[in-house]
Amino acid sequence: MNINTLVLTLIFSFTVIMGCDGDNSTGSNGVTITDLVGTWTATKFEFTNEVDPDQKIDLIQLGGSFILNINSDGEFSAILTVPGESPDTSSGTLRIQNGTLFFDDDSSDDVTAEFTLSRNTLTLTISADDAEIDFDDDGQDDPATLLIILQRS
């Protein structure tokens, strides 16, 4: 696993630039930004290889951490810690549209996250179009699906 690729992929996994009016839009499941307010800590941050679904990398199991803070105005901040690396932070604006979360931190990468909310568990799924990691250390990123399960503190 290439840690630099992992760090960049994880940081940009929460970025998207999309235009939409209203920070408190409602998703198809009726969830609004208000429902997501709080501090969320990842219990799983798992990449699954699209070519070989048995091949997985879970950042949390490797000793990493991911914390997401969401404010009532739709602003967010995220801190990603990869073992052996300095923490990386990202912040910007969050919005919901049709059951999809969009995180805009003015980055050039566009990523969307499908989500479900069940009480204090937020599950994000980022498709292979937007998530990739070097599973075999060959210097080439491999397409992956990223599953992030977060618990509200």
- Number of domains the chain contains: 1
Asked if 28 contacts 99 with a C-beta cutoff of 8 angstroms, the reply is: yes
**And the tokens for 73?**
């105005």
Please report, for the domain that includes residue 147, its CATH number: 2.40.128.50
**pLDDT, tens digit (0-9, with 9 covering 90-100), for 50-98:** 999 999 999 999 999 999 999 999 999 999 998 999 999 988 899 898 8
Tell me, rounded to whole angstroms, the distance of Cα 97 from its chain centroid.
16
**And the tokens for 8?**
């960049």
Look up the domain containing 94 and give its range: 3-152
- At 8, which helix (H) or strand (E)? helix 3-12
Residue with tokens 């399960």: 149
Q: What is the mean pLDDT of residues 95-119?
A: 83
